[in-house]
Structure 1
Amino acid sequence: MKRISILTSFSNVLSNSPIDIIPNSTFSQNYQILSSLDSSSVQLNFLEKLWASYYLYMNNDIFATGLLFFTLHELMYFGRCLPWYIIDCIPYFQKYKIQPSKIPSNKEQWECLKSVLISHFLVEAFPIWFFHPVCNLIGISYQVPFPSWSSIALEIFIFFSLEDLWHYVFHRALHYGVFYKYIHKQHHRYAAPFGLAAEYAHPIEVALLGLGTVGIPMVWAWFSQSLHLFTVCIWITLRLFQAVDAHSGYEFPWSLHHFLPFWAGADHHDLHHHYFIGNYASSFRWWDFTLDTEAGPEAKVEREERMRLKAEAKKLK
């Protein structure tokens, strides 16, 4: 059977590789061929072989990346929402519910689901399907092998930190005047949030806050020229998990913020929905603490106490 070099095929996922690929080969055939690299100078792990086999099988990098990201978003978002829906249906877990008197009904869950699906297909799908050309333009790599895990971890921490600041600034801005009335009010329909409500929002809000999630890695890629699409996939997955968990409405003894005090979590964001102001950050607590925008009665008492002490200190001068 005639073979062609991977460098002359549509996909360049194996740049500068000496291996030959059979045209129109199956996913399994591609994986087997890639496994033969184990004895050569190029070593690929299991995930890298799967990644390369997928791109080679699709033979259309634009479609492959679009399908990958759209499928990843749907599976990770709804896959993470499903456990919280199940927990909402089990009375045992109500003792961990932050607002135990407000369990979402099936009707509320269904209405929220329909709205989120419409947003996914009519707002988010379009830019996702055209993401690959942007990757090529700004230097996001999709070739194998992947970067080291230490590099991936560092970049994801940077993205979490920068996105948290972006989210704080624009989320707080959305609580002012007409921005709240005509845009952000939709997201506050549920005073006691639940997992599916994480992306229940006005299209403008979806685009604005989503730009922090997607735009920050793009800017990073433009300046660093070292970002990999696999890193972006992990980042998107973790960010979706964080958003869904923050809206879950449950506080467990094993919740992450008990081990990482600066992590926001569901208790932090639930107070935002309950009181409608304060706790604007997405992932961490430090911006609300530093800028004195913590929500809830305890934060109010602490704030008033600090103001009292400050006033007394001025009188003593």
Structure 2
Amino acid sequence: MRGAQASSRQEASGGLWDSVKKAVIVIGSGILFLAAFGNSLTWHLQKFWGASGNFWQNLWTKLYVMFEGHNEALFYMGTMLVPMVVFWAFNALLLLADTTGKPSFITRYRIQADKNDPVDPEKLRHALKTVLFNQMFISAPTVVAAYHLTRWRGDPCGPQLPTLHWALAELTIFSILEEVLFYYSHRLFHHPTLYKRFHKQHHEWTAPIGVVATYAHPLEHLFSNLLPVVIGPVLLGSHVSSTCMWYCLALVSTTISHCGYHLPFLPSPEFHDFHHLRFNQCFGVFGVLDRLHGTDIKFRQTKQYERHTLLLGLTPLTESIPDTPTKSH
């Protein structure tokens, strides 16, 4: 028994060390790439920003003057109105495909081919009510709190836009914070006690659709959906322009992760779709901490993992990488 336990510990330790090495290789390769092509990349970005930077600054100046010092209203427009318009515009197209099966260009890329074809109307109505409730009574007050907290760190609606380099650095920091906070809060909500009371609601959708990205118990929505996204701009005292861009990216990203379609030229949703299918795998956003903690081992043994890539053609990956035929008896 002791020998088996020791062997198990060694195997777990070896798996963790292997994950660390792979993470270091991935990060190190990225650093080397940036070091090799950084100057060229910077030159092209500066050339683009030099041509368009004045346009955005002039546009912001007009908005800033138009609101005549009503910075709070300006902040809410950028962090509530604009992200919600982006979220619902994107989801309107997806909901059209979910409810009507058209356009076929979208539905042919469905990940779980036998699900949501079409989506259950009653189940969808219930999800929409919950999503709207969360947005109005959880998200909105959280953004209000974020405004007042951000003011302690700086002026989120200052007259000068952040530089391109700083905006990109902020987005990087936001992404890292989201990966860490979402992964561990998400795993916490999978604890049997918390799962039964809170997180089970989100997992009613074993085959998710885009709009259920924020279909969750209000407590989970606050601590696992909102906090990982909101905390970065608050800590950095970010300008509303950076915060607006980040909120929009986060909402589009989580919508894609839940949409149920592996569409061409968009990030792969296979990772999170598999989480809804199996529950105990793939807890994070980018998968870095899942690789570190070994919570993607089963996923990496599946066809879904083989399909977890950017689709650069028009042939659905369920066709180019079909499921393994089941043996008939």
TM-score (normalised: structure 1): 0.71
Matched residue, 2:56: 47
CA 1:86–1:139 in structure 2 vs 1: closer, same or farther (change >3 Å)? same
**Which of 230, 245, 248 is equivalent to 2:256?**
245
**Which of 233, 241, 258 is equivalent to 1:217?**
233
C-alpha distance in 1 between matches for 2:142 and 2:57? 26
Matched residue, 1:271: 274
Deviates more, 1:116-125 or 1:240-249: 116-125
C-alpha distance in 2 between matches for 1:174 and 1:159? 22
Superposed CA deviations along residues 286-308 of structure 1, whole A, max 9, x for unmatched, are 2111211016565389xxxxxxx
Helix, strand or coil at the partner of 1:146: coil
Structure with the bigger percentage of helix: 2
C-alpha distance in 2 between matches for 1:108 and 1:288? 31
| Distance apart, 1:83 and its partner CA | 2.2
Matched residue, 2:243: 232
| Distance apart, 1:236 and its partner CA | 0.8
C-alpha distance in 1 between matches for 2:147 and 2:275? 36
Q: Is the Cα–Cα contact under 8 Å of residues 79 and 243 in structure 2 kept in the other structure? A: no
Matched residue, 2:132: 117
Number of matched pairs: 245
**Which of 70, 83, 90 is equivalent to 2:80?**
70
Matched residue, 2:306: none
For residue 270 of structure 1, what is the amino acid of its counterpart?
D
CA 1:141–1:74 in structure 2 vs 1: closer, same or farther (change >3 Å)? closer
Q: How does 1:1-317 map to 2 (within 5 A)?
A: 45-59=54-68, 60-88=70-98, 89-90=101-102, 91-103=104-116, 104-209=119-224, 210-221=226-237, 227-256=238-267, 265-282=268-285, 284-294=286-296, 296=298, 298-299=300-301
Superposed CA deviations along residues 269-314 of structure 1, whole A, max 9, x for unmatched, are 00000011110002x122111211016565389xxxxxxxxxxxxx
Q: Is the Cα–Cα contact under 8 Å of residues 209 and 258 in structure 2 kept in the other structure? A: yes
Q: Is the Cα–Cα contact under 8 Å of residues 173 and 232 in structure 2 kept in the other structure? A: no
Helix, strand or coil at the partner of 1:269: helix
Helix, strand or coil at the partner of 2:161: coil
Q: Is the Cα–Cα contact under 8 Å of residues 86 and 248 in structure 2 kept in the other structure? A: yes
C-alpha distance in 2 between matches for 1:119 and 1:74? 12
Q: Is the Cα–Cα contact under 8 Å of residues 282 and 299 in structure 2 kept in the other structure? A: no
Helix, strand or coil at the partner of 1:110: helix
* Structure 2 unmatched ranges of 5 or more: 1-51, 304-329
Q: Is the Cα–Cα contact under 8 Å of residues 213 and 255 in structure 2 kept in the other structure? A: yes
Q: Which runs of 4+ in 1 moved over 6 A?
A: none
Q: Is the Cα–Cα contact under 8 Å of residues 87 and 93 in structure 1 kept in the other structure? A: yes
Helix, strand or coil at the partner of 1:96: coil
C-alpha distance in 2 between matches for 1:298 and 1:129? 41
Q: Is the Cα–Cα contact under 8 Å of residues 177 and 232 in structure 2 kept in the other structure? A: yes
C-alpha distance in 2 between matches for 1:295 and 1:255? 24
Higher RCO (CA < 8 A, seq sep 6+):
2
| Distance apart, 1:120 and its partner CA | 1.0
| Distance apart, 1:150 and its partner CA | 2.1
| Distance apart, 1:234 and its partner CA | 0.8
Q: Is the Cα–Cα contact under 8 Å of residues 146 and 230 in structure 2 kept in the other structure? A: no
**Pairwise CA RMSD:** 2.3
Helix, strand or coil at the partner of 2:269: helix
C-alpha distance in 1 between matches for 2:205 and 2:112? 12
**Aligned residues with identical type, % of pairs:** 25
Superposed CA deviations along residues 62-110 of structure 1, whole A, max 9, x for unmatched, are 2332233221231121122122223333245333111111112333333
CA 1:107–1:51 in structure 2 vs 1: closer, same or farther (change >3 Å)? farther
CA 1:82–1:126 in structure 2 vs 1: closer, same or farther (change >3 Å)? same
CA 1:44–1:298 in structure 2 vs 1: closer, same or farther (change >3 Å)? closer
